[in-house]
């Protein structure tokens, strides 16, 4: 028995599963380890909430799971008095629509700008410094100007997301286009490509995956700008709701909304990543080599 | 028989006359003359830093000579175009296209999107012909990263061949391959060259490869002497110091072990690669019938 135990420890020492440089957590341990911080966070919250609610059942800041579930149920089932839509659904759809439109516009412009800057030196000399300048302007600082210029309607939210993400993404695409081996372009010319053929049939397909990665990275800032714009001027939307109920300190609404936003962000990222794996299998090989 | 430059220019696929290339104060190519006829498999070697790649880029059209003439098919060289096919050591293939699409790419690019409509059958047959010529039919739907280095270079050959270029330029095409694969591809290239009657300009740093593959060998070197003296103020660049016709090699790589093969390599090594062996410009070994070298009075000046 003792010997078996010694053997076990010896094996563990040689093939550590957690500690040290050479650790190799197995598949199940990997999953388990990934869940640990989540479990800790949830437990701490539940315990703290439980303690507080025992002392004072009306305490608002750490609502119980039941309380949150009730609040969510109400938001899911209740129609907005003014518009007649279900609140949670409408908030989600509005926010997603703004986010989608802003990101789509930004991605298209980034592609156009970055691609042409990367390929045509004249275009680059004309617009690259300006794009760099725009990318440094803090978008939230010009929100008041945007509010004046575009009013408080849908446009301003889309514009803020666009301004906040397009320039950085276009610089990213530009870098990806510049990083392509020059041989690819020369080769295309010897294969009879026209200048536009080089840009749209040789360079474009190779910067597409980089653009998608760039969109993934920009989704974080995009949510930030969306929530900020909705906090200032909106009549529905996830950000609007959070800032609205903040006045009543309704943590039972805010916490589920934060979780929902996190989930949406995660889902968007996952979708883009899966699409890339499927559409651009060569990209990962080329990038790693 | 001395031919005039005009006669040579007319008879040549690739023609260089009095070509100089300098980067700032550094002269790389110094009065280079060269005429390559159709059907030649011309290999170019030289010590590192001699300007092989520079010469290559001039022919390709990526750079312009500081002075002098470079023409392909009788026309002065412009930007890279369908006249000149190319195979690089790497990056010849597009990673986002399959083998088939890489090969057919040239036909599609040349016709544009509208011009390609209704031609897919024709393009397909043509591409498959070349893919079969490089023996890769069963790999046609793979991406380049799924192929070995040797297979990738064969695809690159098919990709260039489909355009039927006047001259095929190859820049260290087998430089990154294992010795065995490399030798295999050398034989393979010779077969293709014979079958498609190509004109090839083959740049390599491997002497043995150059002598084995070529029907003509050119040595570009900065190690020579001339009438301009030896002082630091003389800005000398590389010249073609050795130019010979080689016997056609019949497939077998066994010739590489023969005594005369080794002797020729020794001779070339001395002529072009030995910094202490400086041949005078008038003594270069330029036995090839098309070889010509117009020396300037400066270079010919006596009593340095």
Q: Look up the ipTM and state it.
A: 0.88
Q: What is the pLDDT of residue B270?
A: 82
Per the model's pLDDT, the better-predicted residue between B74 and A174 turns out to be A174
Q: Which of A53-62, A81-90, B185-194 has the lowest mean pLDDT?
A: A81-90
pLDDT in tens, A59-68: 888 999 999 9
| CB pair distance less than 8 Å for A202 and B88 | no
pLDDT in tens, A198-255: 999 999 999 999 999 999 999 999 999 999 999 887 888 999 999 998 888 889 999 9
Closest CA–CA distance from residue B69 to any residue of chain A (Å): 20
Query: Which of B79, B90, B105 minimises the CB distance to A191?
Result: B105
Q: Which of B72-81, B116-125, B144-153 has the lowest mean pLDDT?
A: B116-125
Chain A within 8 Å of B102 (Cβ-Cβ)?
Answer: no
Most confident of A105-109, A178-182, B86-90, B143-147: A105-109
pLDDT in tens, A244-262: 988 888 899 999 999 999 9
Q: What is the pLDDT of residue B1?
A: 45
Pair B121, B269 in one domain: no
| CB pair distance less than 8 Å for A190 and B145 | no
Average pLDDT, chain B: 85
Q: What is the C-alpha separation between A209 and A223, in angstroms, rounded?
A: 22
Pair B255, B184 in one domain: yes
Q: What is the pLDDT of residue A289?
A: 59
pLDDT in tens, B112-144: 777 777 788 888 998 999 999 889 999 989 999
Chain A within 8 Å of B158 (Cβ-Cβ)?
Answer: no
Answer with the one of B163, B188, B216 that is the final residue of a domain: B163
Query: Which of B84, B86, B94 minimises the CB distance to A202?
Result: B94
| CB pair distance less than 8 Å for A190 and B80 | yes
Chain A within 8 Å of B211 (Cβ-Cβ)?
Answer: no
Chain A within 8 Å of B112 (Cβ-Cβ)?
Answer: yes
Pair B116, B264 in one domain: no
Residue B252 has pLDDT above 90, yes or no: no
Pair B79, B179 in one domain: yes
| CB pair distance less than 8 Å for B143 and A281 | yes
pLDDT in tens, B47-62: 888 888 899 999 999 9
We report the CATH number of the domain holding residue B21 as 3.40.50.300
Q: What is the pLDDT of residue B300?
A: 74
Residue B2 has pLDDT above 70, yes or no: no
Residue B146 has pLDDT above 80, yes or no: yes
Q: What is the C-alpha separation between B20 and B298, in angstroms, rounded?
A: 15
The residue range of the domain holding B98 is 87-163
Domain count, chain B: 2
Answer with the one of B143, B163, B183 that is the final residue of a domain: B163
Query: Which of B60, B109, B160 minimises the CB distance to A197?
Result: B109
Q: What is the pLDDT of residue A220?
A: 93
For residue A24, what is the DSSP state?
-
Q: Where in chain A is the domain with CATH 1.10.3720.10?
A: 73-288
Query: Which of B79, B92, B145 minimises the CB distance to A187?
Result: B92
Most confident of A69-83, A215-229, B175-189, B283-297: A215-229
Q: What is the pLDDT of residue B250?
A: 59
Query: Which of A184, A186, A193 minimises the CB distance to B60?
Result: A186
Residues in chain B closer than 8 A to A283 (CB atoms) = 95-96
Answer with the one of B138, B163, B188 that is the final residue of a domain: B163
| CB pair distance less than 8 Å for B143 and A282 | yes
CB A187 within 8 A of CB B92: yes
Pair B282, B229 in one domain: yes
Pair B178, B280 in one domain: yes
Q: What is the pLDDT of residue A77?
A: 86
pLDDT in tens, A144-177: 899 889 887 889 999 999 999 999 999 999 999 9
- Which residue of chain A is at minimal alpha-carbon distance from B170? A187
Q: What is the pLDDT of residue B304?
A: 43
Residues in chain B closer than 8 A to A193 (CB atoms) = 109-110
Pair B288, B178 in one domain: yes
Q: Which of A265-279, B156-170, B193-207, B278-292 has the lowest mean pLDDT?
A: B278-292
- Which residue of chain B is at minimal alpha-carbon distance from A204? B96
Residue A48 has pLDDT above 90, yes or no: yes
Class of domain A73-288 (CATH, top level): mainly alpha
Pair B259, B196 in one domain: yes
Pair B267, B229 in one domain: yes
Pair B278, B183 in one domain: yes
Pair B63, B178 in one domain: yes
DSSP states of chain B: -PPPHHHHHHHEEEEEEEEEEEETTEEEEEEEEEEEETT-EEEEE--TTSSHHHHHHHHHTSS--SEEEEEETTEE--SS-TTEEEE-SS--S-TTS-HHHHHHHHHHHHHHHHHTTT-HHHHHHHHHHHHHHTT-GGGTTS-GGGS-HHHHHHHHHHHHHTT--SEEEEESTTTTS-HHHHHHHHHHHHHHHHHHT--EEEE-S-HHHHHHH-SEEEEEES-EE-TT-SSTT----BEEEEEEE-PPP-S-GGGGGSHHHHHHHHHHIIIII-TT--EEGGG-EE-STT------HHHH-S--
Residue B287 has pLDDT above 80, yes or no: no
Pair B77, B195 in one domain: yes
Q: Which of A187, A203, A287 to mutate to test the interface with B (most CBs of B within 10 A)?
A: A187
């Amino acid at each position: 028995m003792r010997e078996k135990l010694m053997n076990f420890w010896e094996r563990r020492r040689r093939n550590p599963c957690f500690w040290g440089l050479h650790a190799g957590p197995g598949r199940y341990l990997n999953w388990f380890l990934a869940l640990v911080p989540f479990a800790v966070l949830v437990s701490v919250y539940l315990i703290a909430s439980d303690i507080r609610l025992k002392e004072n059942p009306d305490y608002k800041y750490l609502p119980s799971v039941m309380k949150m579930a009730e609040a969510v149920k109400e938001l899911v089932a209740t129609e907005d008095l003014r518009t007649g839509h279900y609140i949670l659904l409408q908030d989600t759809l509005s926010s997603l629509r703004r986010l989608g439109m802003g990101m789509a516009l930004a991605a298209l412009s980034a592609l156009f700008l970055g691609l042409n800057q990367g390929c045509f030196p004249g275009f680059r000399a004309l617009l690259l410094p300006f794009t760099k300048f725009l990318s440094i302007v803090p978008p939230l600082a010009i929100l008041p100007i945007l509010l004046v210029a575009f009013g408080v309607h849908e446009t301003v939210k889309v514009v803020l997301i666009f301004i906040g993400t397009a320039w950085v993404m276009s610089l990213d695409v530009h870098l990806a286009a510049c990083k392509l081996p020059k041989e690819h372009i020369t080769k295309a010319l010897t294969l009879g490509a026209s200048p536009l053929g080089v840009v749209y049939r040789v360079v474009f397909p190779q910067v597409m995956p980089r653009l998608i990665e760039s969109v993934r990275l920009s989704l974080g800032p995009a949510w930030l700008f969306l929530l900020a714009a909705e906090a200032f001027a909106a009549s529905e939307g996830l950000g609007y709701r959070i800032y609205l109920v903040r006045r009543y300190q309704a943590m039972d609404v805010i916490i589920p909304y934060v979780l929902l936003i996190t989930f949406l962000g995660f889902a968007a990222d996952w979708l883009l990543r899966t699409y890339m794996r499927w559409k651009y299998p060569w990209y990962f090989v080329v990038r790693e080599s | 028989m001395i031919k005039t430059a005009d006669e040579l220019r007319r008879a040549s696929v690739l023609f260089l006359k009095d070509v100089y290339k300098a980067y700032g104060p550094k002269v790389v190519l110094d009065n280079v003359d060269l005429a390559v006829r159709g059907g030649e498999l011309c290999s170019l070697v030289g010590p590192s830093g001699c300007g092989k790649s520079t010469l290559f880029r001039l022919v390709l059209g990526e750079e312009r000579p500081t002075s002098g003439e470079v023409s392909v098919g009788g026309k002065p060289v412009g930007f890279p175009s369908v006249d000149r096919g190319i195979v690089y050591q790497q990056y010849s293939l597009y990673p986002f296209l399959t083998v088939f699409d890489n090969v057919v790419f040239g036909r599609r690019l040349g016709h544009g999107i509208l011009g390609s409509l209704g031609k897919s059958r024709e393009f397909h047959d043509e591409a498959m012909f070349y893919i079969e010529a490089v023996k890769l039919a069963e790999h046609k739907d793979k991406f380049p990263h799924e192929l070995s280095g040797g297979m990738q270079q064969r695809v690159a050959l098919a990709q260039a061949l489909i355009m039927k270029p006047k001259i095929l330029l190859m820049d260290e095409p087998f430089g990154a391959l294992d010795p065995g694969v490399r030798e295999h591809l050398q034989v393979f290239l010779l077969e293709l060259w014979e079958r498609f009657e190509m004109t090839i300009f083959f740049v390599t740093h491997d002497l043995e490869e150059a002598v084995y593959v070529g029907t003509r060998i050119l040595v570009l070197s900065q190690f020579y002497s001339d009438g301009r003296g030896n002082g630091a103020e003389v800005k000398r660049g590389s010249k073609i110091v050795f130019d010979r016709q080689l016997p056609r090699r019949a497939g077998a790589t066994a010739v590489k072990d023969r005594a005369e093969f080794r002797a020729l390599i020794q001779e070339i090594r001395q002529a072009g690669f030995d910094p202490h062996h400086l041949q005078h410009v008038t003594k270069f070994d330029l036995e090839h019938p098309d070889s010509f070298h117009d020396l300037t009075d400066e270079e010919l000046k006596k009593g340095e």
